Amino acid sequence: MPAFAVEQIADGVFVHQGLQAEADDRNHGDIGNLGFVIGDDCVAVIDTGGSPSVGRALRRAIEVRTSLPVCYVINTHMHPDHIFGNAAFADTGARFVAAAGFTQALAARRTTYLERAERTLGVATNDGWLVMPGDTVVERMRIDLGGRYLALTAWADAHTDNDLTVVDESSRTLFTGDLLFIDRVPAIDASVTGWLDAIESLAQHAADIAHVVPGHGPVGEQLNAMLAPQTRYLKAIRDQVRSAIDEGYGLAYTTAHVARAERDRWLLFDDYHARNVTAAYTELEWQ
C-alpha cells in the first residue's frame, strides 16, 4: 500500500483521503475517506477503510498521534470501503456505532461483499471482516470523548438505507459519509428523492459547519458549494427519469439517454451511472 497520509484539518480532527478509484489488489480498498477525532479521554474513528489492512494503517496513524484509547468506531453506512477496516479495531474495546438499519443491510449483502472483496482485493476474507455495531442510532446520538462531543444523525433512505452523519461540535466539522461525493460519481443505493431531501436538510445547517469531510474526494469548508454538483447530478437523474417514465420509455432506453451531459464531469461515471438510472427508474416508476 502507498504511504498512508493523514491530514489534521482542525484541532484534533484528522482525515485520510482515499483514492478516487475502484478497490483493487494494489490499493487494498483504500478508496473512501476516513477520519478520527481526539478528545481529552479517548478517540473516535469515523469509517475504517475497505480492508483490515487499511484499518491497521489507520490504527497506526492514530497511535502515532495519541496514546489515548479508541473508544468509538463509527460507521457512516454499510458499504465495504467504509467498514472492512473495522476488524483492525475489534480488540481495542471500542464501541461500534452505526445507524439502525446498518446490521440488517450488511447481513443482506454479506456474501456478495465478502466474495467481491476476495475477487477485487485478491485476499482471503472471512466473517471477521463483518463487525456489527453494538450501539445503533435511530435518530440522534451524542457521544462524549472527554470535553468534546460528537453529534450523530441517522437519515432516512438516501445514498443507502443506513446513512449516518457526524458533527464534531468543537471544530464544527461535518463528516457526511457518502451523503456527499466530490468528483467521484455518486452511487444511488437507496433513494434518489430521499437523497435530495437529505441534501436539502444538510444545506439548511451549512452556516453552522466550518469543515466538511465528504465520503469521497477532497475536504473543504463551503458545504453548499460542495453539495452543488452532486445536487445537479441527482436532480438531472430524478427529473429526466420521471419524464422518460411519463413518456412511456423503457429502462434500456432511459439508461442510455438520461443525464448523459454529466458524463465528463465525474470520475468513474461509466462504472455507476447506468446503475444509478436503473435505481431511480425502479424507485420512480411506482410513484
Q: Rule CB under 5 A: which residues touch Zn ion?
A: 79, 178
Three-class SS of residue 51?
A: coil
Minimum distance from residue 3 beta carbon to Zn ion (Å): 25
**Which CB, 95 or 109, lies closer to Zn ion?**
109
**Which CB, 130 or 145, lies closer to Zn ion?**
130
Q: Cα(254)–Cα(276) distance, rounded to whole angstroms?
A: 11
**Which CB, 30 or 178, lies closer to Zn ion?**
178
Minimum distance from residue 79 beta carbon to Zn ion (Å): 4
Minimum distance from residue 207 beta carbon to Zn ion (Å): 27
Q: Which DSSP helix (H) or strand (E) runs through 192?
A: helix 192-204
Identity of the amino acid at 129 = W
Q: Cα(190)–Cα(22) distance, rounded to whole angstroms?
A: 20
**Which CB, 81 or 262, lies closer to Zn ion?**
81
Q: Which of 279, 176, 174, 173 is nearest to 234 (CA)?
A: 279
Minimum distance from residue 67 beta carbon to Zn ion (Å): 32
**Which CB, 79 or 211, lies closer to Zn ion?**
79
The C-alpha cell of 257 is what? 439517454
Minimum distance from residue 267 beta carbon to Zn ion (Å): 15
The single-letter DSSP state of residue 19 is P
Q: Cα(174)–Cα(223) distance, rounded to whole angstroms?
A: 9
* Dihedral angle computed from the Cα positions of residues 136, 142, 144 and 149, in that order, rounded to the nearest 10 degrees: 130
The single-letter DSSP state of residue 111 is H
Minimum distance from residue 73 beta carbon to Zn ion (Å): 17
**Which CB, 190 or 258, lies closer to Zn ion?**
190
Confirm if 184 and 176 have CB atoms less than 8 A apart: no
Minimum distance from residue 40 beta carbon to Zn ion (Å): 32
Minimum distance from residue 242 beta carbon to Zn ion (Å): 24
**Which CB, 254 or 276, lies closer to Zn ion?**
276
**Which CB, 82 or 211, lies closer to Zn ion?**
82
Q: Which residues contact 187 (CB under 8 A, 6 or more apart)?
A: 159, 178, 181, 272, 275, 276
- DSSP for 201-217 reads HHHHTGGG-SEEEEEES
Q: Cα(80)–Cα(23) distance, rounded to whole angstroms?
A: 10
43-46 and 140-144: which strand pairing? unpaired
